[in-house]
Amino acid sequence: MSVVGAQPFIKPMQPSPSVSPGIQRRHTLPASEFRPLNTQDAISVFEIEREAFISVSGECPLHLDEVRHFLTLCPELSMGWFEEGRLVAFIIGSLWDQDRLTTDALTLHKPCGSTVHIHVLAVHRTFRQQGKGPILMWRYLQYLRCLPNVRRAVLMCEDFLIPFYRKSGFKVLGRCAITVANLTFTEMWYPISGHAYMRRNSEAIRFPQHPLTLMYYTVM
């Protein structure tokens, strides 16, 4: 239908009453928001990730197509921290169904798995050194506790990040079988189990209830 043809069906707009600028309602974005990511966030995610990791290790945990891949298959296993609509930090995870990580864990999502594999945690450069990495990890782990089928979270990290994850409650599993270029990793895990009372009472974040698995490097 053309615009001209549709015009007779448009109700004429009534002039709005004059309102003093001082009492006009202001519509603003929330100052701080945690929500699952979607494919529309993929470019912002990748830009933060690329800046964070390329300069440090020369490798990105997830390439742009892989970011889109996981945000399509399991967006509920991601978490983004937005301030005034701007992405400042994020986590991307997927489900895994084995005791230890293998190369397949880098690209696969196992819907029947009970382990959440954290692929990447990164913070925008402008917001680093503000404690946002630990806060986001804490929120994410609390969210996982609300998922009835999740039993643990796992990740792999470079050795200099082990103290960071230990402070978040992760324990060392041992050397990871996965290597990327000349990088080696330590595998760590965090025990999780679903709790009905936490699902009822948690106000931290409301995501679809699906299990999760976490993996890869982290830049705080």
Q: Which residues are catalytic?
A: 94, 108, 119, 121, 165
Please give the structure tokens belonging to residue 18: 């004059």
Q: Partners of 79 in the beta sheet?
A: 91
- Give, rounded to a whole angstrom, the gap between the first and last alpha carbons of the chain: 52
**Angle CA 156–162–164, to nearest 5:** 110
Q: What is the rounded CA–CA span in Å between residue 209 and residue 83?
A: 24
- Pair 37, 91: CB distance under 8 Å: no
Q: How many CB atoms lie under 10 A from the CB of residue 140?
A: 27
